């Protein structure tokens, strides 16, 4: 098999030439079109023979008998894994990104919104940014405020400079003094901890012996039970540039476009795809091509995703999604550069 075993050089060079030409033109590739682009001169007959072998092995398909060949998902995976080594963006492009994101220093949310827009603009695909989930945020300060109608407002300040207001419903009476005590306990002992590890540590302490702990810790536990630091919710999802793919020939089918746009609206599905993409990552870049995607509606797309970090701690993800026939070098380089820059800007706070 071509991916698992090193192919003959002719077959490898021909497959790469076909993929590159199809990316550039979007048209089926014939033998004459690539014969002159190979390092070793080959006759059209020889090229047709090798193309037939590649088709039999699942790397090419032929839309019509008289047409040339089109790369399959498998061909693009081979291309991306073994050949497509990203270089650098043009210096002018890097300077443009640096300047645009530098203007977003007013706050992390503004930075993530602008990051999403730039990913779309520079890569010419749909930009995606998944912000930090509540459980991954690092506690800086927390305050609880008693509200009418059995409610409590939790104001959570976390690094990198994020503020979240969360309304929880209390199941029994609690005073403002008790709420202040619980907040002071958390602020004094858990500053800089992720909210997930805070919750786990509180549970661990209580499991040792409930009776050994005073009312303050029990009040903290009650607030957790009511959902003060619930961890189920993913972070905010930003999507920009869906119109970038509307003009691509791959999406001329109105029904396919409609399914794709509906899929983008379903946050949980997109988050699941980004998570799957990161889990497949090598060297920090995750790529899902076509049918590798867990969502059938995205089988005509490719995702390229990288984590962004706050002081070496992964906090979220940035990426792009576009047709399988994508300029992979440009997209990979853009995602990698933006992820690193976003990490640097967040960590400087």
Q: What is the tens place of the pLDDT at every residue in 205-217?
A: 877 755 555 678 8
Phi and psi at 303, nearest 5°, equal -110, 135
In the three-class reduction of DSSP (H, G, I as helix; E, B as strand; rest coil), residue 326 is classed as coil
pLDDT at residue 7 greater than cutoff 70: no
What's the pLDDT band for 230 if we cut at 50, 70, 90?
A: low
φ and ψ of 306, to 5 deg: -140, 150
Residue intervals in the chain for CATH 3.30.390: 135-226
> If 0-12 CB within 10 Å is exposed, 13-18 middle and 19+ buried, where does residue 339 land?
buried
**Model's pTM, two decimal places?**
0.80
DSSP string, 95-131: HHHHHHHHTTTT-HHHHHHHHHHHHHHHHTSEEEEEP
| Arithmetic mean of pLDDT, 282-289 | 81
The architecture in CATH of the region 91-132+234-347 reads 2-Layer Sandwich (3.30)
Two structure tokens written together for 239: 């999507």
What is the percentage of the chain residues whose pLDDT exceeds 90? Answer: 33
pLDDT for residue 85: 58
| Per-residue pLDDT tens digits for 85-123 | 567 899 999 999 999 888 755 577 888 899 999 999 999
> Do 240 and 116 meet the contact criterion of CB atoms below 8 Å apart?
yes
- Of residues 16 and 171, which shows the higher confidence score? 16
pLDDT at 86: 64
pLDDT at position 128, please? Answer: 94
Checking if the pLDDT of 83 tops 80, the result is no
Across residues 241-265, what is the average pLDDT?
Answer: 78
Residue 310 three-state SS: strand
Q: Which of 42-51, 229-238, 250-259 has the highest mean pLDDT?
A: 42-51
- Reported in sequence order, the residue ranges of the chain that DSSP labels E, i.e. its strands, are 60-61, 70-71, 126-130, 138-147, 151-159, 162-169, 237-240, 286-289, 301-310, 313-323
Residue with tokens 């029990």: 218
For residue range 132-151, list pLDDT tens digits in order: 877 777 889 999 999 988 88
DSSP one-letter code for 160? T
Widest pairwise Cα distance in the chain: 86
CATH 1.10.10.10 maps onto the chain at 9-82
Query: 3.10.20.740, 2.60.40.1840, 2.60.120.620, 1.10.10.10: which CATH number matches 9-82?
Result: 1.10.10.10
Nearest in space to 2 (alpha carbons), one of 84, 79, 85, 86: 79
Instruction: Report the SS3 class of residue 307.
Output: strand
Q: Domain 135-226, what architecture?
A: 2-Layer Sandwich (3.30)
Q: What is the pLDDT of residue 250?
A: 78
Separation CA 270–CA 122 (nearest Å): 21
């Amino acid at each position: 098999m071509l991916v698992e075993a090193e192919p003959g050089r002719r077959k490898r060079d021909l497959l790469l030439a076909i993929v590159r030409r199809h990316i550039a033109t979007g048209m089926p590739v014939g033998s004459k079109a690539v014969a002159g682009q190979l390092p070793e001169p080959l006759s059209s007959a020889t090229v047709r023979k090798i193309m037939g072998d590649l088709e039999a092995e699942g790397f090419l398909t032929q839309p019509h008998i008289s047409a040339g060949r089109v790369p399959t998902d498998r061909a693009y995976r081979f291309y991306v894994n073994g050949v497509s080594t990203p270089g650098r963006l043009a210096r002018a492009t890097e300077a443009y990104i640096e300047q645009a994101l530098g203007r977003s220093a007013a706050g992390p949310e503004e930075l993530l919104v602008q990051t999403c827009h730039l990913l779309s603009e520079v890569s010419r695909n749909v930009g995606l940014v998944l912000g930090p989930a509540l459980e991954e945020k690092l506690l800086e300060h927390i305050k609880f405020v008693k509200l009418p109608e059995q409610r409590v407002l939790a104001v959570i300040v976390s690094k990198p400079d994020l503020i979240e207001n969360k309304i929880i419903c209390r199941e029994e009476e609690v005073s403002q003094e008790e709420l202040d005590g619980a907040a002071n306990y958390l602020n004094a002992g858990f500053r800089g901890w992720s909210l997930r590890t805070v919750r786990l540590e509180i549970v661990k302490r209580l499991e040792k012996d409930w009776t050994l702990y005073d009312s303050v810790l029990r009040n903290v536990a009650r607030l957790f039970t009511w959902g003060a630091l619930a961890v189920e919710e993913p972070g905010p999802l930003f999507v920009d540039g869906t119109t970038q793919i509307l003009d691509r020939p791959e999406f001329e089918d109105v029904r396919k476009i409609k399914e794709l746009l509906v899929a983008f609206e379903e946050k949980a599905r997109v988050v699941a795809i980004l998570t799957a993409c990161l889990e497949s990552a090598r060297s920090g870049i995750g790529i899902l091509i076509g049918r590798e995607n867990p969502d059938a509606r995205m089988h005509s797309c490719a995702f390229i995703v990288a984590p962004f970090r706050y002081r070496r701690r992964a906090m979220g993800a940035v990426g792009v999604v576009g047709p399988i026939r994508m300029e992979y070098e440009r997209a990979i380089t853009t995602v990698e550069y933006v992820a690193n820059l976003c990490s640097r800007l967040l960590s400087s706070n």
